[in-house]
Amino acid sequence: MIEFLQQLINGLAQGSIYALIAIGYTMVFGVLRFINFAHGDVYMLGAFAGFYTAPKLMGLFGGGPSYAGAALVLVSAMSICAVIGVLIERVCYRPLRQHPRLTVLITAIGVSLLLESGGQYVFGADPQAFPEIIADAAIEFPASWGIFSTLTITIGQVLVVGSTLVLLLVLRTVVLHTRTGMAMRALSLNPMAASLMGVNLDAILSFTFAIGSAMAGAAGVLTSIQQPSIDPLMGINAGLKAFVAAVLGGIGNIPGAALGGLLIGLLEALVVGYVNPTYRDPLVFAVLILVLLFKPSGLLGKPEREKV
Amino acid sequence: MRRLNPKILLILAVVLAAVANVFSSSINPYYYDILITIGINIILAVSLNLVIGYTGQFSLGHAGFMAVGAYFSAWVTLNFGFVLGATVPATTTVYVLALASGGLVAAATGLLVGVPSLRLRGDYLAIVTLGFSEIIKGVIQNAEPLGAQRGLGGIVQHTDIFWTFTGVALAVYGILALVHSTYGSGFLAVRDDEIAAEAMGINTTKYKVLAFVIGAFFAGLAGGLYAHFKQFIHPEGFNFLKSVDIVVMVILGGMGSTAGVCLAAVILTILPELLRAVSDYPWLPEPVRNLADNRMILYSVLLIVLMLNRPQGLFGKLNFGSRKS
């Protein structure tokens, strides 16, 4: 029982990371109807942005691990990723908006490969140790809690889940209660009608990419707090899992992406804990295939018919 | 100009391969290696072109089918290689049977993968095929009889110029004959407009699955040739990046242009070797040499620039014969 609870906690922390990345997939899909393959690599860039800015920013707070410094690193990585996301959209996707979807898809794969191999070229292919920006340790529970005091919850895990919750709430406010958010929702319902009503398509798309990439950047830093080994190919696997999460929740649906991320994280933790770690990746793909076969619209998505 | 009958061309190609084979011992082993790799890559690219270029279904899992063919045919020769005795005709029989069965098992896998995933389109299909090829890799990595994570070694070398280019001729001829036949126009119809094709009474699912199965068969064949040339195969040799290599060949050559794709396969096999030579020039500055060492940077930039400026590929108009595809 207590071990099961422990697996759930581990899964929740990993699932938060997937949820943050999945939101970027789902937001871009919502407005542009295409999968931004390079999104997982933006997450990788977020981790490296943290890696390179942390020594400077942590220096402002005495150099040692501190929460204020960590928050600053998180924000700077998010801003860097937002800029990168906007640039990718501007340079690679915008000129192709009227082209067949296959062309855009191939470009997206090209961008993803470029970020991976470019990352290997610039950062080096070997894994690097992410600096310690917070003092990560297990939280001590009082012995009076009985059996629950044997649970291992790290500060990193609490921070990851907490930051994810905060970011999701901010995102919810932006999407539901601002004019920009309304424009975004309008675009995803009907791009043509929205632009006729005066929605600035280019600006909203840039904004969408900025938000999605910032979320991925945050995920990159938050992962690195828990697993401080980062390498230029870390985005491939995480990106694919997050994509599965987005599809599971219903692609185009933001709460669905968060839910899907958590579910995938929990599934992984349970497979690792009770079955066999080598089956972790194949099983996630099996989930994807099953979802696409039996409920292509996902858990929270609405079915959509293709029209001529 | 009167064109030669394609069947005569096919026989000519096989004869030419047999003649070239006689001289294989006088070829520098390094060039010999490249030559065989070119042949195998042409088969892979041409078969993927049937799926992507002619039928318009974006598959990112071609290396998975290649892995199935490579492992199955290697398993056949390793386990049944001595059943018929060790004489030359007997081992050749086993070899040919192994290649054929490798292709067939890959085709069966293609059917298994294709039937569920071809209900999807575009982006989803790309991810699902990628997922399936990862699952295939995962199964091999856990299969003890296939060497699991260590890879499978000790395979007899039997692939030579004759067998490789006979395979190339069969793949090119088979796929061209198929898409240029009346029956084969269905593939192009599915690619050009799926909804219209369906309205005209074409069974689009059948065509998509068929393209997938035939593509997988030739990929499996290429895998068998590869296994019996390198004598050692490893699950990581059939990963996502291998699939991307093949996709780049198809896109660079021009989707739906068999001749262009063949040419691209040749170029993209030689290019990394040339780049490797460049990265050895000591007088070049270090960053340039490192850049030459990392061919994926070049491939990805090539993909993006091509898609932005020339989506039909470098040789998009090029084709064998004059018939339009």
The per-residue pLDDT for range A60-115, each reduced to its tens digit, is 877 778 888 888 999 999 999 999 999 999 998 888 888 877 788 888 889 998 99
Cβ <8 Å between B134 and A281: yes
- The helix/strand/coil state of A251 is coil
Does the CA dihedral A175-A177-A181-A185 come out positive or negative?
positive
- Kindly tell me if the per-residue pLDDT of B284 is higher than 60: yes
Q: Does residue A185 lie in a domain region?
A: yes
Quick check: A293 contacting B, CB < 8 Å? yes
- Kindly tell me if the per-residue pLDDT of A37 is higher than 90: no
Cβ atoms B60, B126 nearer than 8 A:
yes
The pLDDT tens digits of the residues spanning A122-180 come to: 888 889 888 888 877 777 777 777 777 777 888 888 888 999 999 999 999 999 999 99
| Cα radius of gyration (chain A) | 20
Q: What pLDDT score does B43 carry?
A: 94
- Kindly tell me if the per-residue pLDDT of B292 is higher than 80: no
Quick check: A113 contacting B, CB < 8 Å? yes
Cβ atoms B123, A35 nearer than 8 A:
yes
Q: Does residue A174 lie in a domain region?
A: yes
Q: What pLDDT score does B194 carry?
A: 83
- The helix/strand/coil state of A140 is coil
The pTM (predicted TM-score) of the whole model is: 0.83
Q: What pLDDT score does B217 carry?
A: 95
Q: What are phi and psi of A23, to 5 degrees?
A: -60, -40
Q: What pLDDT score does A169 carry?
A: 92
Q: Which residues pair with A230 in a beta bridge?
A: A128
- Kindly tell me if the per-residue pLDDT of A302 is higher than 80: no
Give the model's confidence band at A211: pLDDT under 50 very low, under 70 low, under 90 confident, else very high. Answer: very high
A71-85, B190-204, B207-221: segment of lowest average pLDDT: B190-204
Q: What pLDDT score does B325 carry?
A: 42
Residue A120 belongs to domain with CATH number? 1.10.3470
Round to whole Å and give the CA distance between B130 and A37: 12
Mean pLDDT of B295-321: 77
> What is the average pLDDT value for chain A, to the nearest integer?
87
* Amino acid at site A68: A
Cβ <8 Å between B308 and A107: yes
Q: What pLDDT score does B290 carry?
A: 74
The pLDDT tens digits of the residues spanning B143-158 come to: 878 877 888 887 878 8
- Kindly tell me if the per-residue pLDDT of B323 is higher than 50: no
Q: Which two tokens stand for residue A195?
A: 């632009």
Q: What pLDDT score does B272 carry?
A: 82
Please classify residue B13 by burial: count the beta carbons closer than 10 Å to its beta carbon, then call 0-12 exposed, 13-18 middle and 19+ buried.
Answer: middle
Q: What pLDDT score does B83 carry?
A: 63
Please classify residue A294 by burial: count the beta carbons closer than 10 Å to its beta carbon, then call 0-12 exposed, 13-18 middle and 19+ buried.
Answer: exposed
> What is the average pLDDT value for chain B, to the nearest integer?
83
Q: What percent of chain A has pLDDT over 90?
A: 36
More confident residue, B209 or B324: B209
Q: Does residue A48 lie in a domain region?
A: yes
Q: Which residues contact A192 (CB under 8 A, 6 or more apart)?
A: none
Cβ <8 Å between A113 and B123: no
Mean pLDDT of B240-264: 87
The pLDDT tens digits of the residues spanning A215-228 come to: 999 999 999 988 88
B141, B304, B311 member nearest A114 (Cβ): B304
- Kindly tell me if the per-residue pLDDT of B44 is higher than 50: yes
Mean pLDDT of A280-302: 82
- Kindly tell me if the per-residue pLDDT of B268 is higher than 80: yes
Quick check: A196 contacting B, CB < 8 Å? no
More confident residue, B128 or B37: B37
Q: Which domain holds residue A128?
A: 2-294
Cβ <8 Å between A110 and B307: yes
Highest averaged pLDDT of the listed ranges B137-141, B209-213, B300-304: B209-213
Q: Does residue A299 lie in a domain region?
A: no
More confident residue, A97 or A204: A204
Q: Does residue A268 lie in a domain region?
A: yes
ipTM: 0.79
The minimum CA-CA distance between B133 and chain A, rounded to whole Å, is 10
- Kindly tell me if the per-residue pLDDT of B1 is higher than 90: no
Quick check: A275 contacting B, CB < 8 Å? no
Cβ atoms A39, A208 nearer than 8 A:
no
More confident residue, A132 or B291: A132
The minimum CA-CA distance between A289 and chain B, rounded to whole Å, is 7
Q: Does residue A152 lie in a domain region?
A: yes
More confident residue, B155 or B83: B155
Quick check: A114 contacting B, CB < 8 Å? yes
Q: What pLDDT score does B322 carry?
A: 45
Quick check: A308 contacting B, CB < 8 Å? yes
Q: Does residue A301 lie in a domain region?
A: no
B247, B251, B294 member nearest A117 (Cβ): B294
Which residues of chain A lie closer than 8 angstroms to B291, CB-CB? 121
B134, B138, B300 member nearest A110 (Cβ): B300
Q: Are β-strands A128-129 and A229-230 bridged in parallel, bridged antiparallel, or unpaired?
A: antiparallel
Give the total number of structural domains in chain A: 1
Mean pLDDT of A178-191: 89
- Kindly tell me if the per-residue pLDDT of B86 is higher than 70: no
- Kindly tell me if the per-residue pLDDT of B3 is higher than 80: no
Quick check: A105 contacting B, CB < 8 Å? yes
